[in-house]
Each structure stands twice: as C-alpha cells, then as structure tokens.
Structure 1
Amino acid sequence: METRHYEVSVESNLLNDIRHHTRWFTGLGIVFLVLGIAAIAFPFIAALSLEIAIGILFVVAGVAQAVHSFSVPRWAGFFPSLGLSALALIVGLLMLFYPLAGVITLTTLVAAFFVVTGTFKTAFALQLKPAIGWGLLLIGGLLSLALGLLILFWLSEAYTWVLGLLVGVDFIFTGIWMIALASSAKRL
C-alpha cells in the first residue's frame, strides 16, 4: 500500500513539474531535435568539433590548474596539482594535434556513455511505470544501450562518421520524448 502511494506521489509531482515548465520542455526538445539533425547531416564535422572543443577545455583546465599551483605559496599539494595540470595540458594538446586519434578515443567514451545512460534511462523508465511518458523513455534507454554497443562493435570501421550519427540519433529521440512529454502534460 505504501509503495503505490509513493508511485502516485512521484507521478503527480512529475506531472505538476512538467505542466509548470511546458515551454522549457518543448524548447529543450526542439534544441535537441535541431542539434540531432545537424549532427546526422554532418557527422564527421560533428565528431571533430566535439573532439576539438574537449581538447580546448583540457588545455584551459591545465593552464588554470598550473596558475593555481604556482599561486598558492608553500602548498603541500603543489607537485600533485602541477602533475594533474601537466596531464590535462598533455591530453588537451594531443587531442588538438592528433584529432583523428581523439575522435577514436571520444567514440569509445561515447560508447561507454551510451551504455551507462541507456542502462539508467531504462531503470528510470521502469521506476516511472505507469507514469506519463515512461514507454518512450524506456525505448530511448534501450536505444541508447543498443547504440553504445553498436559503436563498440563498429569502432575500427566507422569511427569517422558513427560518432556524429549516433549522437544525432540519440539527440533526436531525446527531443521527441521531451516534446511528447510536454504536449501530454498539457492535455492532462
């Protein structure tokens, strides 16, 4: 009896949150759709852009940590901090100077991300059952899991296009789910 009360409470809280923020859910869904279509239309450019952006973030993080390391006088963590700074700089510079190797690495990381998020989306959908939108979330979770495994199996043959394509598919499905969730919440 207590479990059913919790399920009704979770469903009504979720529904109320979605109703009060319908425009945000719809807007975010549209953003995901547009980004997904762009990634599918230009998969290699999407993969390279992602790889370069992450490389730049690593370089910035490495420089910031190096500045921090030298700005704190007689700090006991100087050498570990400086070592982590050097690691971030090296990884960032390698990604910028060897973008194809970075794309392969990122493709592997995205595969792991899809496997993990697919597992969590699936588990979350099963917790939300029979709440509004749980079926679409379940399908999205299973799709993410399948995409992650697909990337791992095709890595050596299709790393130049698979990352952009699969990220695009996942973004499109997430966008559709968010728009459907917002429009369903309006009707209830």
Structure 2
Amino acid sequence: MKKLFALFSVALILSGTPEFNLAKPFLDKIEKEYGIYAKRRAVALVQMMNEARELDEISKLEKVNDFFNQTPYASDKSVWGTSDYWATRLEFIGKDKGDCEDFVIAKFFTLKELGVPSSKLYMTYAKSLRYNAAHLVLTYYETPKSTPLVLDNYNYKIFPATQRRDLIPIYSFRGDELFKAKQAQIGKIIPASTRQERQWDELVITQRKE
C-alpha cells in the first residue's frame, strides 16, 4: 500500500480549457488495491468535478457535499483497526467508508481543486450535542466576516453555522494547516504512523484539454 501511496502525489495541470481527468495507470492501481467498485467511485468523482467546475462557489459546495455524503459512516476502529486514523481522499474512496475527519479531508481537497480558495475553507472541531461527542466539520467563509456555512456528514444539508444549534464550535484551523493541527494534537492523539512528509491527498487528478 505504501508504494501505491507514493505514486499519488497531488498534481494539478492546467492547459487551455481544462477538464479533470484520472490517468489510466492510477485507475488501474486503485482497482488493484481496492477493487473495481473503488475504481468506479474514482471515475464518478472526476465526473462530478467536471460537472461542477464552471459553477459558482455555493453550487460547488453543494455538489461536493452531496457526493461525499453518499459514503457510509464508519469508525476508524472498524475500518483501520485503530482508534484514530485520518484517511486520505484516496483511502476514503477506496474503502467507501470513514469517520468525520475523512469526510472533511475529502471535501476540502476536492473543493480546493475546483478553485475554491483554501483561505475560505476551515476545518472546525465542534461538540455534537445530538451525539454528545467530538465532531469535525468543514466550514466555508464567503468573506472573513461572513457567517460560515457548515458542510457536515451528520446533517446532509448545508446550513449557516447560526442554524446548527446542535453543534458547539471549539476550534477552527485552515485546511492547509492540516498537518500542523495533527502535530498540535488538536482533538485527538496523532497516530505514531503519521509523518510530516505524508501526502494527505494521494489521488492524482489532472486537468487536460477536452
């Protein structure tokens, strides 16, 4: 698996009027590692991104949120055999299940590739009053002073934070500060396997001319 991950560094290539694309060698590797259905999910992701690329930012949020919220929730223990594992987007698509951190990471990288500025995207730790548990959501700020919109895997619809009375925000950090947050042990303990050089998004999605 480590050899596969080493090949999946982020690559975003722009040329003319671009469309998103997954190269066949990477699709073949996904199929070999996770199976044919994982390959189909990766293709579906690219199709969704091509449908969303010309949309306004709010519509992109809705497309991406709806796509990943089709994935079943599962604890890290049941998927990875450990109490805390932050999966990459490739791993999340490959396993077709994950916990709240996995949803947030996948949504963040997809929106970033769709052109939503990372400065508008924050990962927000909160307490879920409904489940009486720590929770992670992705929040979007149209402007620095805007009320953030909440992208969540508990509530599938996107609402302003002021309407999410079931969540008590605790701490927010920029998506680009993901590893720094893990180093600081925000929310959960960092697994021993985590290293600074780990690539959080190992799924290569390029752009090419139509």
Largest Rg, 1 or 2: 1
- Structure with greater contact order relative to length (CA < 8 Å, sep ≥ 6): 1
Greater strand fraction, Structure 1 or Structure 2: 2
Greater helix fraction, Structure 1 or Structure 2: 1
Q: Same fold (TM over 0.5)?
A: no
Q: What TM-score, normalized by structure 2, do the two folds share?
A: 0.25
Q: What TM-score, normalized by structure 1, do the two folds share?
A: 0.27
